[in-house]
A and B are shown apart, each in its own frame.
With several copies, the nearest count.
Chain A
Amino acid sequence: MLSDDELLRYSRHLLLEDVGKTGQEALKKANVLIIGMGGLGSPASLYLAAAGIGHLVLSDFDNIEVSNLQRQITYQSDDIGESKVEVTKRKLQQINPDIKVRSINKAMPEEQLTMELTMADLVLDCTDNMAARQMINKACVNAKVPLIVGAAIRLEGQLMFFDHSHADSSCYHCLFPDSEEQTLNCSNSGIIGPVVGTIGTLQALEAIKYFVGLPSGIKNKLKLFDGKSLDWQTFAINKDPKCTVCGQH
């Protein structure tokens, strides 16, 4: 049931046939785990809190640095030195006091992540390194939890949706089987804020669509974003039967 305040707050959702009261109630019941509170996690968490996702769990181990402020729009100058998850939690509650936000101020080891997944309906991978991405993918495959992956660097972005609640879903490891760290990341290659912002915002969009029951256009697909041309390419990701993570090995 939605309160009178909620009916007002979410009126722009309730007007949409694709959301309505049923959709808003589904958002209220939803549990989303967002891993990484940087350039992707900033807009993703802001939009999900604003939309009324009832339970958000935020995970990151970083403190806010001045170089984050160029693109991580949750943070302001006087937050420097504070924990990203604590500051984000506070701001999300200020945006939307109706939702519950829990923070995990550390790098989760695999066992803790697996435990968290028993309570999560959906995971957003908003991390910044290959080791974390592979670990999250593997844990979501094993726990059968849907995973929306975002990534960005320079003027390029990548977006994927693997619905691991379906056994025939492909996985991140089918696409990128290398666990070794890439040499390119935001700290050594740079990034334009709205590029990573666009990808994080679209992760939030796909999450909202998932809970209100709108089909995703990008399940088992990779979207490549070229921020120079604003062109998008779309690729189908077939399940690799020999995948050591999701295959019948």
Chain B
Amino acid sequence: MKIHVNEQIVELADNSNIEQLLTYLDKPLMGSAIAVNQEIISRSHWADTILNEGDNISLFQAIAGG
């Protein structure tokens, strides 16, 4: 299936969950947040959140500065 990650198209196996996406992207888990279709998914739900064709994924880091 095709999903969008930070506005880039990513081809991913059907029924992948968020943890599998992050492993596939080789992105750091530390300090990361992830949203599916503009809704933040808590870390505790990354393993049980199944992604669907056409989902818009936003992946970003915590900013600590100020």
Contacts and interface: CB of A to CB of B under 8 A. Distances in A.
Contact of B62 (A38, A174, A182, A191): A182
B42 A153 contact: no
Interface string B49-66: 000000000101111111
Chain A binding surface, main DSSP class: mixed
B31 A176 contact: yes
A180 interface: yes
Contact of A189 (B43, B62, B65): B65
Interface residues of A, number: 45
Interface residues of B, number: 19
Contact of B33 (A38, A128, A176, A181): A176
B63 A152 contact: yes
Nearest to B39: A236
Interface in B17-66: 30-31, 33, 35, 38-40, 42-45, 58, 60-66
A240 interface: yes
A201 to B, nearest CB: 13
A185 B63 CA distance: 7
A178 B30 contact: yes
A233 B65 CA distance: 19
Contact of A185 (B38, B44, B45, B65): B65
Contacts of A22: none
Interface in A93-136: 126-130, 133
A54 interface: no
Contacts of B33: 175-176, 222
A121 B31 CA distance: 29
B31 A153 contact: no
B63 A242 contact: no
Given A175-B33, A235-B35, A158 B43 contact: no
A174 B64 contact: no
A151 interface: yes
A245 to B, nearest CB: 12
Shortest 3 CB-CB contacts between residues of A and residues of B: A240-B42, A153-B65, A151-B63
Given A40-B66, A158-B63, 18 more contacts: A36-B66, A126-B66, A127-B64, A127-B66, A151-B64, A157-B63, A174-B42, A175-B62, A177-B43, A178-B30, A180-B31, A222-B40, A233-B38, A235-B39, A235-B58, A237-B40, A238-B39, A242-B42
21 contacts: A40-B66, A128-B64, A150-B66, A151-B63, A151-B64, A176-B33, A177-B42, A177-B43, A182-B31, A184-B63, A186-B66, A191-B65, A199-B66, A200-B66, A222-B33, A233-B38, A234-B38, A235-B58, A240-B44, A242-B44, A243-B42
Interface of B: 30-31, 33, 35, 38-40, 42-45, 58, 60-66
